[in-house]
């Protein structure tokens, strides 16, 4: 009998996820908590998690929603605003409540309306973070309407990120969910302990043409928006290179189906159920399965100065493609990400 192809990984972490709150949280949390040991939980709730006290309560809500005996660890983040108090932020970091802080340029994505209007206003916050060794996670897009949506990440590097890094050379920065060749090259120009990037399964899988293949595909719409094919290829090369500056971050973002399939559909892709299987497929297509463990389980903890997980998880390759169910929420549901290729791997 032919033996099935198997793959063993150190249990991965998700370095960028949206878990929401209330009923939505209770419905989506299991997909993250089963597949990942830890996750960096994004703070863009409505209202956002802006203080240490907010994060303590939100962490309790997540822990209460976990199934019994789950050893999943939520790593909390602070939503930076023009009014962030550096003393509260740093004390939250030093007491272990916060793992990092998130910078959303105001208006850049879902629930980012109270984001930062001008990063120069936060220089005292960034200095304090730099001194404390607290990582800054950045949604790297300019929000100027004059700048084309496909150019917003590229322009952010030149207009915001490079000047910010020149002002704070020791600040640890994660350029989140990168989508362009320029971002890959920019991250590679930094020191590995100071500048890193997360890459999502969907940005590794789809390009901008896929958003319009045969009609508008609202379930592939996300921000930053997928770019041209050569950018996708650059992301795949970066992820599959084993370079420690690149690591796994799903940016899984649940939305109810009627919010996606709408005259003004919202941005975000829910990939927690099959993110790992999608990453495996991408690495396999590129003969880089030997680099997947670094990307999924080693590079992130190294950047964040955390222990690597000790548990292992084994995947096997089936003969037939696997399907992933939608998540029911009340009378509605959340559609799971459908990459434009079949997924054959499952957890043993
Ligand atoms: Zn996100």
Helix (H), strand (E) at residue 313:
strand 312-317
How far, in Å, is the centroid of ligand 1 from the Cα of 223? 8
Tens of pLDDT, residue by residue over 146-165, are: 999 999 999 999 999 999 99
Distances (CA, A) of 205 to 35, 67, 234, 275, 341: 20, 31, 12, 11, 8
How far, in Å, is the centroid of ligand 1 from the Cα of 133? 22
Sign of the CA dihedral with 141 first, then 142, 148, and 149 last: positive
CB-side neighbour CA atoms (13 Å) of 255: 21
How far, in Å, is the centroid of ligand 1 from the Cα of 119? 19
Catalytic residue among 251, 290, 325, 331: 251
User: So what's the pLDDT on residue 115?
Assistant: 82
How far, in Å, is the centroid of ligand 1 from the Cα of 42? 7
Q: Rounded to 10 degrees, what is the CA torsion of 295, 297, 303, 306? A: 180
User: So what's the pLDDT on residue 96?
Assistant: 98
Average pLDDT over residues 119-147: 95
Tens of pLDDT, residue by residue over 277-318, are: 999 999 999 999 999 999 999 999 999 999 999 999 999 999
Kindly state the DSSP code that residue 160 receives in the 8-state scheme: I
How far, in Å, is the centroid of ligand 1 from the Cα of 2? 42
How far, in Å, is the centroid of ligand 1 from the Cα of 253? 7
How far, in Å, is the centroid of ligand 1 from the Cα of 103? 11
User: So what's the pLDDT on residue 30?
Assistant: 97
Q: How far apart are CA 345 and CA 277, in angstroms?
A: 6
Tens of pLDDT, residue by residue over 202-248, are: 999 999 999 999 999 999 999 999 999 999 999 999 999 999 999 99
Is residue 80 within 8 Å of 164, Cβ to Cβ?
no
Is 8's pLDDT higher than 90? Answer: yes
CB atoms inside a 10 Å sphere around CB 254? 24
Q: Which positions ≥6 away from 24 have C-beta within 8 Å?
A: 254, 329
Domains and CATH numbers, the chain: 6-347 (3.20.20.140)
| 76 backbone φψ class: left, alpha, beta (φ>0; ψ -120 to 50) | beta
Comparing CA positions, the residue from 254, 259, 304 lying closest to residue 275 is 254
Residue 105 pLDDT level (bands cut at 50, 70, 90): confident
Comparing CA positions, the residue from 76, 78, 62 lying closest to residue 30 is 62
User: So what's the pLDDT on residue 3?
Assistant: 60
3-state secondary structure of 241: coil
Is 107's pLDDT higher than 80? Answer: no
Is 113's pLDDT higher than 90? Answer: no
Q: How far apart are CA 199 and CA 296, in angstroms?
A: 10
Is residue 68 within 8 Å of 45, Cβ to Cβ?
no
Instruction: Tell me, yes or no, if 326 is annotated catalytic.
Output: no
Sign of the CA dihedral with 262 first, then 265, 266, and 270 last: positive
Q: Which positions ≥6 away from 246 have C-beta within 8 Å?
A: 184, 187, 196, 197, 198, 199, 238, 239, 295, 299
Is 265's pLDDT higher than 60? Answer: yes
Average pLDDT over residues 35-57: 97
Is residue 231 within 8 Å of 201, Cβ to Cβ?
no
Comparing CA positions, the residue from 57, 285, 267, 256 lying closest to residue 141 is 267
């Amino acid at each position: 009998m032919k033996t099935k192809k198997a793959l063993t990984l150190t249990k991965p972490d998700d370095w960028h996820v949206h878990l929401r709150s209330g009923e939505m949280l209770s419905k989506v949390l299991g997909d993250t908590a089963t597949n990942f040991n830890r996750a960096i939980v994004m703070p863009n709730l409505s209202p956002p998690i802006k203080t240490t006290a907010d994060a303590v309560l939100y962490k309790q809500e997540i822990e209460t929603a976990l199934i019994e005996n789950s050893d999943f660890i939520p790593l909390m983040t602070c939503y930076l605003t023009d009014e962030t108090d550096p003393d509260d932020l740093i004390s939250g970091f030093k007491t272990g409540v916060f793992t990092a802080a998130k910078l959303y340029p105001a208006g850049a994505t879902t629930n980012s309306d109270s984001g930062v209007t001008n990063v120069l206003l936060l220089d005292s916050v960034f200095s304090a973070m730099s001194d404390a060794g607290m990582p800054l996670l950045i949604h790297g897009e300019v929000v100027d309407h004059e700048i084309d949506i496909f150019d917003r990440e590229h322009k952010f590097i030149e207009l915001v990120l490079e000047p910010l890094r020149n002002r704070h050379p020791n600040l640890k920065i994660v350029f989140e969910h990168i989508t362009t060749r320029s971002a890959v090259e920019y991250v590679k120009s930094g020191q590995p302990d100071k500048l890193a990037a997360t890459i999502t399964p969907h940005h590794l899988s789809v390009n901008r043409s896929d958003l319009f293949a045969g009609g508008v595909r609202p379930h592939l719409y996300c921000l930053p928006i997928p770019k041209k094919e050569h950018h996708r290829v650059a992301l795949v090369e970066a992820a599959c290179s084993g370079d420690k500056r690149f690591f796994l971050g799903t940016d899984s973002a649940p939305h109810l189906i009627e919010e996606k399939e709408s005259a003004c559909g919202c941005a975000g892709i829910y990939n927690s159920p099959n993110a790992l299987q999608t990453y495996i497929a991408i690495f396999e297509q590129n003969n880089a399965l030997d680099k997947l463990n670094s990307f999924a389980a080693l590079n992130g903890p190294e950047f964040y100065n955390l222990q690597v997980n000790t548990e292992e998880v084994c995947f096997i390759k089936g003969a037939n493609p696997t399907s992933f169910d939608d998540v029911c929420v009340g009378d509605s549901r959340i559609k799971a990400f459908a990459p434009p290729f079949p997924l054959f791997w499952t957890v043993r």
